[in-house]
Amino acid sequence: MKKLLLALAVLAAVPVFSQPSPASTKLQALLYQIEHMYVDSVDDNKLVNSAIVSMLADLDPHSVYIPKEDLEEVNEPLKGNFEGVGIQFNIVRDTIYVVDAIASGPSERVGIRAGDRVVKVDSETVAGTGVKNADVIKLLRGPKGTKVNVSIVRQGEKAPLDFTITRDKIPIYSVEAAYMAAPGVGYIKVSRFGATTTKEFSDKLDMLKKQGMKDLVLDLQGNGGGYLRAAQEMADQFLDDRKLIVYTEGRTSPREDLYASSTGKFEKGRLVVMVDEGSASASEIVTGAMQDWDRAVVVGRRSFGKGLVQRPVMLPDGSAVRLTVARYYTPSGRCIQKSYADGLDAYRHEGMDRLRDGELTSADSIHIQDTVKYYTNNKRIVYGGGGIVPDVFVPIDTSLSSAWFGQLVRKGITNTAAINYVDKHRAEIQRQYKDVDAFRKNFTVAPDLTNAMEKLAEEAKIEPDSAGMARSQRLVDLRLKALIARDVWNTSAYWQVINADNPVDLSYEEALRVITDDELQRTKLAER
C-alpha cells in the first residue's frame, strides 16, 4: 500500500494540463495530509523522487527517472560532445597520466601529448594527493572559451612544462575502429548511436572506399543503442530507396514507418553484421532490417532484446523521465523485445542466465520466447520476442577466464602496466614497427612486462593464483598488447589487435570467412 501511495504521488509533482483524474486528486490530498499531519518532518523532494522511481519500476525496465544533477552526464555520450580540455587520462600511481590528447582538441593544439603527467591544475597540486577520476573531470571540464593552467612533467624534460589551455567542445566518438581487415574488406566498429554517428560512419565509409573496400564487416557487438534516428540513417546506407527500415507503434503513438532513401553509400557489396548479447535497441534496429531484407549475414550470438522506444519527458525541477511510448518492429513485423514479466531483477540477470544455461556456448540452447514465424525477403524463417538470432552462431570460450584475470582488469592493473611500458618504450616501438599491422604480427609480450604487471597486482593486494595465471595467460598477453597499441596509436589499433587474435570470441574470424564465402552469393544472403 505504501509503495502504491508513494508511486502515485508523482502525479502531484507535475503540472496539471487537463481535468484532474480522481486518482490524482486523491494523491494530492494525501500529500497535503502528509505535509501537515505526519509525525516527523518530510523531505518532499525525496518522497516524490522515490515515488517516481517506484512507479516507473512497475511499468517496464527502460522507463527511468534521471535526477537533474545526473541529466547532463547521462545524455553526454549520445550528444556527441562535451566541453573541456580534450584529453584521455588514467590515474597511475596517484598521478594524472595522459593516455591521449584528442586530435585537433585544445590540449593537442597547445602541445600536450600522450605520456605527459599532470602535476598541477591552476596552481593546485594534483600529484600524490589521492586525486580521483571525478576530481580530474571537475578540474578540467568547463565552459567553452574558459582557460585552465596546467603543469606537466614530461619524460626527458628536466623541469615541469606550463600550458594554458582554452576549453572547447570535445567530440565523443561513436565509431571506435575503422580499418582494412583483408584485401577488399573493410571493418567498422560502432560503440553507440549518438548525435554524430551518421557523419562519423559516413566519413569512415568514404575513407575505406578510398583504400579499396568492396565488402564490409559492421561490428555492433556490445553496442547498447542510442538514438533511433541514427540507427535509421545507418541502415539507410545499405538499403535501396523506399525499403522499410523499422516501424514504431504504441497505445497513444500511431504507427510510424521509417524508410530508406535513395542516397545510401553502401547499397552494393557484401555485408556482415556482428552482434552479441550486449547489442541492444538501435543496434537491433539496424541488424533486424539487414536480416529481414537479406542484405547482410548476421554473425555472433543472440542480441539483447530491447524493442521499446523511450521519449524524454522533462519535469518542472529540471529532472527528466525516459518514458516508454512505443515498441519498434522490424520490416517483417517482429518485435524483438524480450519478456520482463518476471520483474526487473530477472530481466537484468537474464544475461547471466544465458551463460548459465549454455546459450553463449551452444546454438542448441538458444531459447526463443515468441514462436510466431516471420519471413525475410527471401522467405527465410526468423523469430521475434527475444533479440536477433544470428544467421551464423559463434560460441564464446569460457575456459580461459579466471577470477584472477577479472581482478586485473577491474582494478586497472593491465592498463597501468601497459601505460608504464609505453612510457619507457614509445620511441622504440614507433621506430621498430612502421604501423599497427606490423606491431600486431611481430610484437610479443616479454617476461619483463609480465613480471612488472604481476608486481603491480601484488601492490594492489591481488592474491597470486598460479592456476588462474596459467589459464588466463593468453588473455593477459593479448590485452597488454592491445592496450600498448592503443596508447601508441589509437583505439582503432586496440581493436585491430584484439580482433585478429581473440581466443575467446571468434566472431571476427568467422565474419571474415563468411564475407568471402561464395555460397552466400548463391543463397542471396549477401551480394555484390
Q: Is 18 a catalytic residue?
A: no
Q: May I ask the CATH class of domain 81-171?
A: mainly beta
CA distances from 60 to 41, 54, 248 (A): 32, 11, 17
| Residue 129 pLDDT | 85
Residue 153: phi, psi to the nearest 5?
A: -100, 125
| Residue 283 pLDDT | 97
Same fold, 81-171 and 175-396: no
Q: Contact, 455 vs 464, CB < 8 A?
A: no
The owner of cell 535497441 is 281
Secondary structure class of 245 (helix, strand, coil): strand
| Residue 524 pLDDT | 65
Q: Is 292 a catalytic residue?
A: yes
The residues, ordered by sequence, that sit 6+ positions from 99 with a Cβ below 8 Å of its Cβ are 87, 88, 89, 90, 114, 419, 486, 487
Q: Contact, 382 vs 347, CB < 8 A?
A: no
Instruction: Determine the Cα–Cα distance for residues 247 and 118; give it in Å rounded to an integer.
Output: 50
The burial class, CB within 10 Å (0-12 / 13-18 / 19+), for 209 is: middle
| Residue 526 pLDDT | 63
Q: Contact, 269 vs 237, CB < 8 A?
A: no
pTM of the model: 0.85
| Residue 123 pLDDT | 86
Cell of 194: 549518438
Instruction: Determine the Cα–Cα distance for residues 522 and 55; give it in Å rounded to an integer.
Output: 53
* Other C-beta atoms lying within 10 Å of the C-beta of residue 124: 11
Cell of 353: 542466465
- Where does 50-159 show beta strands of DSSP type E? 64-66, 81-84, 87-92, 95-101, 117-121, 124-125, 147-153
Annotated catalytic residue within 168, 292, 294, 487: 292
Cell of 32: 497535503
Which stretches within 172-325 are classed as H helix?
A: 197-210, 228-236, 282-292
Q: Following CA atoms 81, 105, 192, 476 in sequence, which dihedral angle do they give, to the nearest 10 degrees? A: -140
| Residue 16 pLDDT | 40
Q: Is 465 a catalytic residue?
A: no
Tens-digit pLDDT profile for residues 306-321: 999 999 999 998 999 9
The owner of cell 502528509 is 34
| Residue 385 pLDDT | 82
Instruction: Determine the Cα–Cα distance for residues 184 and 419; give it in Å rounded to an integer.
Output: 34
The burial class, CB within 10 Å (0-12 / 13-18 / 19+), for 407 is: middle
Q: What is the 3-state secondary structure (H, E, C) of 167-184?
A: CEEEECCCEEEEEEEECC
175-396 CATH: 3.90.226.10
Annotated catalytic residue within 54, 151, 281, 332: 281
Q: How many residues does the chain have?
A: 528
| Residue 370 pLDDT | 67
Instruction: Quote the radius of gyration of the chain (alpha carbons, Å).
Output: 26
Instruction: Determine the Cα–Cα distance for residues 238 and 383; give it in Å rounded to an integer.
Output: 22
* pLDDT < 70 regions, the chain: 1-19, 103-104, 370, 521-528
| Residue 522 pLDDT | 67
Annotated catalytic residue within 189, 204, 243, 306: 306
Q: Contact, 368 vs 285, CB < 8 A?
A: no
- Where does 267-384 show beta strands of DSSP type E? 271-275, 297-300, 308-314, 320-329, 374-375, 381-382
User: What are the structural domain ranges in the chain?
Assistant: 2-58, 81-171, 175-396, 403-504
